[in-house]
Amino acid sequence: MTAMAPVRTSAQTLAQKLIARASGRDSVSVGEIVTCEVDMAMFHDSSGPRRLKPMLEELGAQIWDRSRVVLVMDHYVPERDDDSRRIVRIARDWARDQQLPHVYDSQGICHVVVPQHGHIRPGMLCVGGDSHSPTGGAFGAYMFGIGSTEMLGVMVTGEIWLRVPETIRMWWDGALPAGVTAKDMMLHMIGRFGMNGGRYQAVEFCGPGVMALSMQERMTLSNMSAELGAQAGLIAPDATTSAFLAEAGVPQVDTAPWFTDGDADFTHHLFDAATLEPHVAAPHSPANAHGVSRYLGTRVDVAYIGACTGAKLEDLRAAAQVLRGHKVATGVRLIVAPASLRDQEQAREEGVLQALMEAGAELFPTACGACSGYGDPMGDDITVISTTARNFKGRMGSATAQVYLGSPYTVAAAALRGRVTDPREVLA
């Protein structure tokens, strides 16, 4: 891996092109503050109506364009107590009163459900009421997370201002070996650059190693750009993007304009996908990431396959590839919480879900669940290995739980052996 100094020109990065379109300009310069029109605003039951409703009522304001708003109930479902029932009821009642046309109730995690329904397309500028909203960048859209006060401004005006960011390009040569995934790529980058490595800039993932990835794997990269500290995590759209969107009901998209000019101004980092090994992040930060060999033999009590970074269809397939025909180790609890109902049903049709259940997995609802400390939080003094994006102290439950992060292959291998294992050994 090497780093190259920025090239100074007037050409445009992908981030600049996306922001320029949204601001009605031909081009923008790094450091400029511009006002952009928002193409789509997404929020969920935790970040949305319970906060936006009273603020809108106090202002006497209306939503600028209901057709551009997407609401997903994914954090407090299924309702388990009076507080969660209250929060979800507020969201459902408000969605009905506002006659919102795009509401996904208990269909899965917002960062997976929204693109599966074709709401994010190349060229768009989108905002989301969740820190992992950069997931949308996998589709060649500029998407980032905002807080409730900023979302209020978007709801009323349909606009948001931002400072045009610098671009950091993560170029991956080669192709990933079997048993190594986009999650491992991300853990490697976070371990190398830290959780402030993106410095609130636009990170663009590119090169043969990235473009060979499926859309769901690309979504993992863009999603976890948040763990790099980036505002956006972008991937130039191509035929893979178009094919995914066609299946989502978006038959025609224009991918041609959305790329970084070769002589644009960016910082460039080089990686070799072919030499990457599976990675694991130790408690209590994704930045504590190293090759799996450092943690071999670490005993685990719970293996959690869930969240927007680790329970999409392809993630479930990867776990099943490790576990099919086997049983999880005695004393290990394997939890599987698919990222969306659509992915869960397809996994069921393919026999993937059956393989996981026969191995001893407990099937949990398609929701954020334990990733956000809800549902069945992790208990005291246990060791967890998880496909989630974060392992901060107390995030998944008890502050005394030790949470490691890994890919679905790595988590499944740990469930099988009862300890952290290189999944390539099992697959071989």
- What is the pLDDT, as a whole number, of residue 197? 80
- What is the pLDDT, as a whole number, of residue 236? 98
User: Which H/E stretch holds residue 104?
Assistant: strand 103-105
- What is the pLDDT, as a whole number, of residue 2? 42
- What is the pLDDT, as a whole number, of residue 377? 83
Report, as ranges of residue numbers, the positions in the chain whose pLDDT lies below 70.
Answer: 1-9
- What is the pLDDT, as a whole number, of residue 8? 40
- What is the pLDDT, as a whole number, of residue 246? 96
- What is the pLDDT, as a whole number, of residue 3? 45
- What is the assigned CATH class of domain 3-272? alpha beta
* Cα torsion angle, 210, 215, 219, 222, sign: positive
- What is the pLDDT, as a whole number, of residue 29? 97
Domains 3-272 and 281-427 share a fold: yes
Name residues whose C-beta falls within 8 Å of residue 45's C-beta, 6 or more positions apart in sequence: 71, 72, 73, 74, 75, 76, 77, 87, 88, 91
- What is the pLDDT, as a whole number, of residue 7? 38
Q: What is the per-residue pLDDT across 179-210, written as a single tens digit (0 to 9) for each?
A: 999 999 999 999 999 998 878 899 999 999 99
Q: Which CATH superfamily is domain 281-427 in?
A: Aconitase, domain 3 (3.30.499.10)
Write down the pTM of the prediction: 0.95
- What is the pLDDT, as a whole number, of residue 10? 78
Q: Where are the domains of the chain?
A: 3-272, 281-427
The end-to-end CA distance of the chain, in Å, is 28
Report whether the peptide linkage leading into residue 78 is cis, meaning its omega lies within 30 degrees of zero: yes
Name residues whose C-beta falls within 8 Å of residue 15's C-beta, 6 or more positions apart in sequence: 142, 164, 165, 167, 202, 204, 232, 234
